Chain A
Amino acid sequence: MLELRNVSAHYGQIQALHDVNIQVGKGEIVSLIGANGAGKTTLLMTICGDPKASQGEILFEGEPIHLQSTSQIMRKDIAIVPEGRRIFARLTVEENLHMGGFFLDDKAEFAHLEQEVYSLFPRLLERKHQRAGTMSGGEQQMLAMGRALMSKPRLLFLDEPSLGLAPIIIQQIFDIIEKLRERGITVFLVEQNANQALRLSDRGYVIENGRIVLEDTGANLLTNEEVRKAYLGG
């Protein structure tokens, strides 16, 4: 579904990604784990076209997308829950969701999708008319996920969805990621919380200093000696 071939990316003069090769198959949950500053977010943002890949190819369902603009890429069936959630704090919860479904013209389909998001995140329905910025971190995370789902994605990027949240909320978030798989949404997950991410994942990649250093199934990575030492706390 998504394929990166020898992708490099630069921020100004600094090379942030080196020859990255990644494949995400339809219906999979694939994790990308790595330390702070290893290039996890950069990798996701490069797929979204910001910054543009300086080398290599990015294919979405066989179509090269690395030359297109961010808004063009994101209008395909791709959605992102970005680092730091980036909800629109001054808009209401409902308005945030509507921004997610901006390009959905079919009214009935839109209403159905909205219903689905509310059933997945009942908290959002309770807070429908509340300003998004007044909600708790966990609720904002749910809103960011709901907003992404409103565009009816087939491929969903999640950038550190567990960051700064209480363990019980983190569990809920991971349960929902599991549910998304059942609905046929392919998930590419970037996490520092490697343990939980890998347990959920079909496959995983380890990134270090902008290079993919390891690739295996989630289960194998969980038991891998080096991964345990570096990312799972021994």
Chain B
Amino acid sequence: MSEQFYYFLQQILNGVTIGSTYALIAIGYTMVYGIIGMINFAHGEVYMIGSYAAFFVLAGLAMLGFDSLALMLIAAFTLSIVITSAYGWSIERVAYRPLRGGNRLIPLISAIGMSIFLQNFVRLAQGSRDIAMPSLISGGWVIGPVDGFNVTLSYMQVIIFVVTFISMSVLTAFISKSKMGRACRACAEDLGMANLLGINTNKVISITFVIGAALAAVAGVLLSMYYGVINPYLGFMAGLKAFTAAVLGGIGSIPGAVLGGLLLGITEAITAGYFSSEYKDVVAFGLLCFVLLFMPTGILGKPEVEKV
């Protein structure tokens, strides 16, 4: 097989890795939009908090002398999910719920304020410098010719694929099979009608925020370990990228968020691999402009249907 093929394969692997974490974050945007029609611009910061929570758990356990990798990973995921979900729930409760029912612009402004607040809260509490994550998982498989370009599939990448796949499966099962998942879908279609059936829609909205935050936490744990550094500003760019992914796939659609995330990740990796990594953000946001201009409902999004 030719060198070009291995090089291409490497870009795809890198793209899918990043893309699956975009997808995890994008689900939070898309579910919240689906149910209350609002873009939660503080969602990127929720992901950043997930990263910090992972750091504290891993660093803490390492300091206490734990050396079981499985235990550390489980603890990092569990605690980060719990802490980040608590943030997601509180953000909705404090910054959005009191504003519901009014002008749609007001919660949007509140979301931007919440984003600035969280970023600076972490900056003041933890400092603005990069923090190095304890490196737990290194190495990987190398495929390819002895001389020339080799494809590297790191163990960390494999963990990202597996954990993302498990998270998506759990979410899909919850949304399609469980009673609460059914209520989430019903609320996304007609919140007022769900209310007329006696359903406490505030509770369903809270659950949506918690699910979004939990998935962002998973992405936070994975990406912080993948990149090895965290800082208080990483939520901004990741949030914008995931938002792009959600719009690309069709905002409001969960499969759309996954598809959009993967497409965006692959596009970025291809740009970086064949063109210049400096331009990957340009291409990503150029894609956002293109989608907004020419296909505003995204790939899997449904056009707003006039209700008869």
Contacts and interface: CB of A to CB of B under 8 A. Distances in A.
A74 B195 contact: yes
A151 interface: yes
Contacts of A86: 190, 192-193, 196, 307
Interface string A86-99: 10111100010011
Given A84-B307, A84-B308, A102-B179, A90 B197 contact: no
Q: How large is the interface on B (under 10, 10 to 19, 20 to 34, 35 or more residues)?
A: 10 to 19
B189 A88 contact: yes
Interface string B181-202: 0110110011011111111110
A90 B195 contact: no
Given A84-B308, A86-B193, A102-B179, A91 B199 contact: no
Nearest to A80: B196
Contact of B183 (A70, A79, A102, A137): A102
For the complex, would chain B's binding face be called helix, strand, loop or mixed by DSSP majority?
A: helix
Contacts of A137: 308
Given A84-B307, A84-B308, A74 B198 contact: yes
A70 B186 contact: no
Given A71-B199, A71-B200, A88-B185, A99 B194 contact: yes
B29 to A, nearest CB: 20
Contacts of B190: 86, 88
B196 A70 contact: yes
Interface in A52-97: 70-72, 74-75, 79-80, 82, 84, 86, 88-91, 95
B198 A89 contact: no
A81 B182 CA distance: 20
Interface in B13-49: none
A88 B187 CA distance: 9
Counting chain B CB atoms within 10 Å of each CB, which of A100, A102, A103 scores highest? A102
Contacts of A72: 198
Contact of A98 (B182, B192, B201, B307): B182
A103 B194 CA distance: 12
A48 interface: yes
Given A50-B195, A84-B307, A102-B183, A71 B189 contact: no
Contacts of B189: 88-91
B200 A91 contact: no
Contact of A70 (B179, B195, B307): B195
Contacts of B307: 84, 86
Contacts of B308: 84, 137, 164
Contacts of A70: 195-196
Nearest to B190: A86
A40 to B, nearest CB: 16
A164 B186 CA distance: 24
A19 to B, nearest CB: 25
Interface of A: 48, 50, 70-72, 74-75, 79-80, 82, 84, 86, 88-91, 95, 98-100, 102-103, 137, 147, 151, 164
